[in-house]
Amino acid sequence: MADRLAADHGPGEGETTRISVCYAALQAGDDRSSAVSDILTAAFAPDEVASVGDPAQATGPVLFPLEAPAADLARHLQEGAAPAAALADWVRRTQANLTLLRGHRRRLVLVALDALCAADPTCLEALSRRLKLELRADVPTSAPVLAAPLYLLLARELLASDPDAQALAEELRAMMTGGSGMAPTGLDAVTLIWSRDRQRQDALAEATQAGARLQTDLSRLNRDRKVAEDELDRLRERSAEEVEQVSLLRDTLAQTVQLIEDMETRLTSREAELDELRQAAAGQSDLLVGLEQQLKAAKKARAEQAHAAEQRHAALAQQGKQLEADLRAQLDALTEERDLLALSLQEALEQAAAQERDNTDLRGRVGDEKLLKAVNRAQDRRFQTALVERRLREEVLGCIILDTGEQLRTQQAETRQVRSDLDLRNEALAATEIRLADREKALKRAETRLADLDKALKAAATRHKAQTKTAEELTRTLAERTRGLAEASARIEDLSAELDRIYTSNSWKVTDPLRKARSRIPGSKP
């Protein structure tokens, strides 16, 4: 009783509006159920459109969408079912639906599915009155999706041929909301079939004309195909040549890149060697400066030593001359003294002889033996003294001569040593000058080699730039060839796809003239 009152008076203020729909008459996976929910939501704006499997579980009216009898049977006939089987299946399903409707007569609201999906205003107004819901004014409508008119006529004739089926259809139409006026009547269906047949004949005439045009187009396409195939062959040959050229360019580019890498490696080693040579040249320059300084110092020392040796030699020569003069003077003095001593000795001998004579005279005259002995002893002593003095003088003179000779020999040895040292120093200085000259020559050779390496480095850098530029040009050429190859391949693919599309088309406007044209070509398959 509460459900009936709610259905009679509609929802109260603040209550939730809900529309229950039972899709038992629709097959599983039928997408028209979502269309029904969308139409109900757009028409009445309920809070919920609920799908119920058992109408007894719902509160309030339950919409039961069902196709009209003729439309349902026509749809099955159009799907390929045999008339007897389609009618028997329709009768079975209709009896099951009527059993459900009779069991819930007060709760279920039978509504035409095609009218509801098309948002038919008459159907929606009837539902608004039945559900006590306000119908919105901006509900979009659409044309109903029905079977072909020919199948509708066949379905009506098939229902009219069976009284039981016609009775079931009349009972459904009596219970259905919004089921009138959607399907065309007999005259309308015949008129629609006639108009569609005229349209089909016109379309056939147009198709015949289109076939003639397609034959012309096919001839043109065959010519174009021949030209395209020739162009395709040329493009393939050109593509093969370009692929070979690209391969050669890649090999050349790889060789150029390897050559550039080798040159960069050699350039790096040459730069390292150049740095080492520069460092060695800098070290040799420093060594050369040091050697020059040492040479200058050695020359200066040699000059000083030579000057000192000359001065010493001059002093020694002067001393030798002075010593020789002194020795000669002393020798002259000793000779003179010896002569004097010899004279004195001669005089003493003469005096002794005279004394002997005197003694003889005295012996003869005086005969004094003691006096004669005393005189003889005195003379002997003077003679011995003179001999001793002479011997002493000779010894002193010999010592002086020996000392002077020793000094002369020592000075001569020192002079020879100084000369030997000077010769050794001169030889060392000459060797140093030779080494210095060799170092200067080596330095000049190093500078020449450094200049040659600089020139080689500049030439290598120039070649590297040229080869880099050549590699870039080869890369650009390779990219252009690759791009041209890609464009040619794309053009080939487009032509192949166009030919495949033409030959594999499913459109009768294309395939029918194409088959006719093929049948005219000897040896071709239709």
Task: Tell me the per-residue pLDDT of 142-189, one tens digit each, with 9 for 90 and over.
Answer: 545 556 677 877 888 888 888 988 898 888 888 887 655 444 555 555
Where residue 2 falls among pLDDT bands split at 50, 70, 90? very low
Answer with the residue of higher pLDDT: 507 or 403: 403
From the CA atom positions of the chain, what is the Rg in Å? 76
In a domain, 491, yes or no: no
For residue range 90-132, what is the model confidence (pLDDT) as tens digits? 899 889 888 888 888 788 888 877 777 777 787 888 888 887 7
Residue 512: predicted pLDDT: 64
Report the pLDDT value the prediction gives residue 517, as an integer from 0 to 100.
Answer: 59
Q: Please give the residue range of the domain that contains residue 66.
A: 2-182
- pLDDT score, position 5: 32
* Contact assessment for residue 488 and residue 243, using Cβ atoms and an 8 Å cutoff: no
Six token digits for residue 115: 């009218």
Assign 3-state DSSP to the chain and report helix, strand, coil percentages, each to 5.
80, 5, 15
Q: What is the pLDDT of residue 118?
A: 76
Q: 34-43, 90-99, 327-336, 395-404 — which one is most confidently predicted on average?
A: 90-99
Q: Kindly tell me the sign of the dihedral angle through the C-alpha atoms of 334, 335, 336, 342.
A: positive
CA distance 222 to 229: 10
Question: Is residue 194 in some structural domain?
Answer: no
Helices first, then strands: H and E counts in the chain:
11, 4
Q: Both tokens of residue 56? A: 């007894």
Q: Name, in order, each residue with C-beta under 8 angstroms of 348's C-beta and a sequence gap of 6 or more.
A: 379, 382, 383, 386
Residue 403 placed within a domain: no
Residue 404 resides in a domain: no
pLDDT, greater one: 288 or 378 = 378
| pTM, 2 dp | 0.36
**The pLDDT of residue 339 is above 60:** yes
pLDDT at 1 over 50: no
Average pLDDT, the chain: 74
Tell me how long the chain is. Answer: 526
Helices 121-131, 32-44: crossing angle, 10 deg rounding: 70
| Spatial separation of the C-alpha atoms in residues 489 and 246, rounded to whole Å | 15
Does residue 154 contact residue 77 with C-beta atoms inside 8 Å?
Answer: yes
Using DSSP, state whether 112 is helix, strand or coil. Answer: strand
Residue 326 placed within a domain: no
Segment 342-353 shows an average pLDDT of: 74
Task: Specify the range with the lowest mean pLDDT, choosing from 29-43, 230-244, 348-362, 470-484.
Answer: 348-362
Query: How far apart are alpha carbons 394 and 388 in whole angstroms?
Result: 10
If one counts the domains in the chain, the total is 1
**Position of tokens 């040459």?**
270
Q: Return the top range by mean pLDDT from 77-86, 400-409, 517-526.
A: 77-86
Half-sphere exposure for 479 (CA within 13 Å, toward CB): 6
Contacts of 251 by beta carbon, 8 Å cutoff, 6+ apart: none
Residue 6's pLDDT is 36
How many Å from the N-terminal Cα to the C-terminal Cα in the chain? 75
Q: Is the pLDDT of residue 385 over 70?
A: yes
Long-range Cβ contact pairs of 512-520 (< 8 A, separation 24 or more) = 512/207, 512/211, 512/214, 513/210, 513/211, 513/212, 513/214, 513/215, 513/217, 513/218, 514/214, 514/218, 516/211, 516/215, 517/215, 517/218, 517/219, 517/222
Distance CA 482, CA 393 (A): 128
132 assigned to some structural domain: yes
Q: Tell whether the model's pLDDT for residue 426 goes beyond 60.
A: yes
Q: How confident is the model at residue 174, as a pLDDT?
A: 83
For the record, the structure tokens of 190 come out as 């015949």
Identify the helix (H) or strand (E) that includes residue 51.
strand 48-51
Distance between CA atoms of residues 474 and 494, nearest Å: 29
Highest mean pLDDT among 27-41, 82-96, 352-366, 504-518: 82-96
36 in a structural domain = yes
Domain for residue 200, yes or no? no
* Residue 345, CA distances (Å) to 125, 143, 381 in order: 198, 190, 13
Q: What is the mean pLDDT of residues 222-247?
A: 76
* Pairing of the two strands 62-66 and 18-21: parallel
For residue 7, is pLDDT > 50?
A: no
3-state secondary structure 278-345: HHHHHHHHHHHHHHHHHHHHHHHHHHHHHHHHHHHHHHHHHHHHHHHHHHHHHHHHHHHHHHHHHHHH
Res 526 pLDDT > 50: no
Q: Is the pLDDT of residue 431 over 60?
A: yes
